[in-house]
Structure formats: structure tokens, C-alpha cells
Amino acid sequence: LGDENKVEFINLEAANRVEYLVTNKVDIVLANFTVTPERAKKVDFANPYMKVAIGVVSANSEPIKKVEDLKGKKLIVTKGTTADVYFTKNHPEIETLSFDHNSESFAALKDKRGAALTHDNTLLFAWAKQNEGFEVGIDTLGPLDTIAPAVKKGNKDLLLWINQTLEKLGEEKFIENAYNETLKPIYGDSVKIESVIIEGGKL
């Protein structure tokens, strides 16, 4: 938009992202928003800029390497995330401990209130690198999804503008440069850039 003062930034809880678009509280959601068929029924997604799957992080001392390792243990989730939905739907036998905010979820893991935490693997890779004593024992779970901006259903003009902007940013290698500046120093060579980013909004 040329001027950051033209934009009002609002922090959202993961569970409220769809609601804020539907009720016109925000115009665009750009907050690690994974594209799912259920969400696409309620909002319109722009083209994607990242790839993502579900992961599980746990303490090195008691690593969770497969879903079966969670039997009889508590799994920490952030409400409204794709990881929350995935485990609720596919593994109702696993007891979950839910929080509204990511900060609360990760604090609970550090406090050993749960055996593991599930979230987007791209987030967990970075968090585990920055927090000694933890590892992503399950790095890919469920389908490979994409992350994209979203607008209110039917807002075609804004959707078109976002997609055109992503295309222009792709010509500048904006997403690649952002990755190299922010995520690569954390991931190192353990994660391939092509497995994480989507440049120009095109897979």
C-alpha cells in the first residue's frame, strides 16, 4: 500500500480468524492461515505463499515419534488450528489440552503439562531450534496443505488485488528473500526452501 500507516493491524486468536472476516472486523487475514475445504466454504482464499503440514514437538528426553506414542498422554493444541481439527477428527482417543493462544500452548509444553504439542510443522521446526531440549519427532502428519491470505466471501476486488500483489512480489523474489532473512538462519540446511515457500502465488 506504500505506507504502513494506511493499515490497521489486529492480532487474532486462531479460532477467530473466520469469524473476523465474516463479521467485517477485518478485511484480510494474513496470519499463518492454512487453506482447508471447511474454511473455503466460509471465506475466499487468495493464492498461497507457503506449504505446510502438521507436526508434533516433544521433549528430547521423552520423544514422541509416532501418533501411537501419545496413547495415555496429553497432547497440547491451540484452539482452531488445523492440528486441533486434525486430531479431534482423526484421533479422538487422544486426550488434548487446549489453549487460545500459541504462547499459552508452548508455555504448557515447557511446564510439562502435556507430553507433546501439535501445530504447523514450519512453526515447530523454528521453535525447536530456538528451544533447547525439544525436537520435532513427527515432522509430517496428515495432508500437505498451503498457507494463504483470506478475505470475506465474495470480496472479488480485494482478492484480485492480493493475487496481483503476490504475483508482483514474486518477480522481486520477495518470499524467498523473506525466508532467507527470517527462517533460514533458524532452519539452517535442515529444511529445503522449496518445501516451505511458494513464490508469486503459484505452486
Check: CB of residue 56 under 8 Å from CB of residue 137. Answer: yes
**C-alpha 58: how far from chain center:** 18
Average model confidence (pLDDT) across the chain: 93
Residue 80: how many other CB atoms lie within 10 Å? 18
Residue type at position 133 = G
How much of the chain, in percent, has pLDDT values that exceed 90?
74
- CA atoms lying within 13 Å on the CB side of residue 88: 11
| Lookup result for grid cell 518477480 | 171
pLDDT at 1 over 80: no
Residue 200: how many other CB atoms lie within 10 Å? 18
> Cβ-count burial of 97 within 10 angstroms (0-12 exposed, 13-18 middle, 19+ buried)?
middle
First to last CA, the chain: 25
The secondary structure of residue 33, as a DSSP letter, is -
pLDDT at 2 over 80: no
Average confidence (pLDDT) over 61-79:
96
Check: CB of residue 35 under 8 Å from CB of residue 48. Answer: yes
Instruction: Quote the pLDDT of residue 190.
Output: 74
Instruction: Quote the pLDDT of residue 203.
Output: 80
Angle at 196 between CA 55 and CA 25, to 5 degrees: 80
Write the pLDDT tens digit of every residue in 13-55.
888 999 999 999 999 999 889 999 999 999 999 999 999 889 9
143: which 3 cell numbers? 495432508
Sheet holding 50-59, edge to edge: 95-99, 74-78, 116-120, 50-59, 134-147
Least-confidence region, from 52-56, 124-128, 180-184, 186-190: 186-190
Nearest of 159, 125, 101 to residue 52 by alpha carbon: 125
